[in-house]
Amino acid sequence: MNSTFSWNEGSLDAAIDQGAKGLSEGGVPVGSALEIAGVLVGLGHNRRVQDGDPIAHGEMSCIRNAGRQRSYRFATLYTTLAPCAMCAGTIVQFGIPRVVVGEDETFPGEIQFMRDRGVLVTVVDDPRCKNLMRAFQREYPDVWAEDIGES
């Protein structure tokens, strides 16, 4: 089931730009954008390869870059790929109520986990997101397996 709400295409575009930036740096092409009350407060992309940081996934980097927030009650997190267990846990932990996912075909992530905990998740099935991940998975299968803990 796809829960829906009004979301900002420009914020998804920003997340996609972040994913492309990560790929251009030789990293995993997952990008994210955090919007609070309609204001873009943070951007990030997966930096595991670039920084040698095992938890620097796109969503984690974005939330870190947004800095300390008093509340996430009016937040929407945009991400190019379905969040993994670690990122989904962070979303739930901080009470981010809405997540827009670019695609969940190349990696299903933990969408049901988030929904089961009250997060409204919309999967938009964006071909740009799929193309980024498919190219990366094809060219760097070992790095991808490492990123999702399957190496």
Task: Catalogue the active-site residues.
Answer: 59
Measured CA to CA, the distance from residue 39 to residue 34 in angstroms comes to: 8
Residue 58: closest CA among 82, 38, 39, 32: 32
User: In the numeric block, which tokens belong to residue 112?
Assistant: 């049901």
Q: Which residues of 13-45 are buried (b: 16+ CB within 10 A; e: fewer)?
A: ebbbbbbbebbeeebbbbbbbbbbeeeebbbbb
Residue type, 15: A
List C-alpha distances in Å: 103 to 37, 50, 73, 121. Answer: 24, 24, 24, 11
